[in-house]
């Protein structure tokens, strides 16, 4: 709870995955990958209730052992089924179980295991301080982006005839998929994880790695190992 506002978090966790088979349960530096997100949510000062949205019995059992709600969700996201309806469905299910009005909804994807409770609490504080309707976590982006249509390529975010050095380029941000926050009523009305006045919570590059493939797993394990050695 933050200043009297009830906050709920949803962690969508598929049992099946293509890039890394059963990646949510795959061991990552000593524990299943999903546990990092579960622990971050549980250790937040402000999150009141947490749901694991899954179609997988093993993931549901892990959630229950951790003291979290597990919603067996028929709308689990797939390659053709987007995530936002899953998010909304699970917040509604949580509200039924909680028997109190949820004010703010948070989406936490388990593919961002380097996001921790400190990041969550800072993002929640920023959401309320800036009186935002929604918020997303981002990382600094310095890339020159291109797009190709038919046989023609064109630049999206810079003039290649007047290429700037990075320091002169206007600051841009890339979504890192770690944190999404929205007023619950806006989620129900817009059926989207973002809307209204949107704020950004900026995270460092090394905290923003998402697990999409085996290389990402190795990269994150090495980041965790180096961090542990420093401590």
Calculate the alpha carbon distances from 20 to 16, 25, 104 in Å: 9, 10, 32
Distance, CA of 108 to CA of 144 (rounded, Å) = 28
Give tens-digit pLDDT for 205-230: 999 999 989 999 999 999 999 988 87
Contacts of 105 (CB under 8 A, 6+ apart): 7, 8, 9, 10, 87, 91, 181, 182, 183, 184, 187
Answer whether residue 183 shows pLDDT above 70.
Answer: yes
Describe the strand order of the beta sheet including 69-72 as a list of residue ranges. Answer: 69-72, 49-54, 7-12, 104-107, 172-183, 134-141, 198-203
Helix (H) or strand (E) holding 176: strand 172-183
Look at 73-77, 103-107, 118-122 and tell me which has the smallest mean pLDDT: 73-77
| Tokens at 117, concatenated | 């409770």
Residue 16: half-sphere exposure toward Cβ, Cα within 13 Å: 5
Identify the CATH class of 7-138+173-230. alpha beta
Distance, CA of 31 to CA of 53 (rounded, Å) = 19
pTM of the complete model beyond 0.85: yes
Confidence of residue 73 (pLDDT cuts 50, 70, 90): low
* Amino acid 117: pLDDT: 98
Give tens-digit pLDDT for 16-55: 777 788 999 999 999 999 999 999 999 999 999 999 998 8
Contacts of 1 (CB under 8 A, 6+ apart): 7, 46, 48
Helix (H) or strand (E) holding 119: helix 117-129
């Amino acid at each position: 709870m933050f200043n009297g506002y009830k906050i709920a978090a949803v962690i969508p966790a598929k049992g099946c995955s293509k890039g890394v088979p059963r990646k949510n349960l795959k061991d990552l530096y000593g524990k299943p990958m999903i546990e990092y997100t579960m622990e971050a949510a549980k250790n937040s000062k402000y999150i009141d209730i947490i749901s694991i949205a899954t179609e997988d019995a093993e993931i549901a059992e892990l959630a229950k052992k951790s003291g979290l709600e597990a919603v067996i969700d028929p709308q689990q996201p797939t390659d053709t089924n987007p995530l936002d309806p899953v998010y909304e469905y699970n917040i509604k299910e949580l509200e039924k179980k909680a028997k109190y009005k949820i004010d703010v909804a948070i989406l936490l994807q388990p593919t961002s295991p380097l996001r921790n409770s400190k990041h969550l609490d800072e993002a929640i504080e920023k959401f309320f301080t800036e009186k935002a309707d929604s918020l997303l976590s981002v990382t600094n982006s310095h890339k020159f982006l291109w797009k190709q249509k038919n046989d023609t390529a064109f630049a999206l975010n810079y003039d290649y005839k007047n290429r700037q050095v990075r320091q002169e380029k206007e600051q841009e941000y890339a979504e890192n998929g770690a944190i999404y926050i929205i007023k619950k009523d806006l989620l129900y009305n817009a059926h989207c994880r973002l809307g209204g006045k949107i704020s950004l919570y900026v995270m460092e590059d090394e905290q923003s790695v998402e697990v999409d493939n085996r290389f990402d797993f190795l990269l994150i394990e090495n980041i965790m190992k180096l961090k542990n050695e420093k401590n």
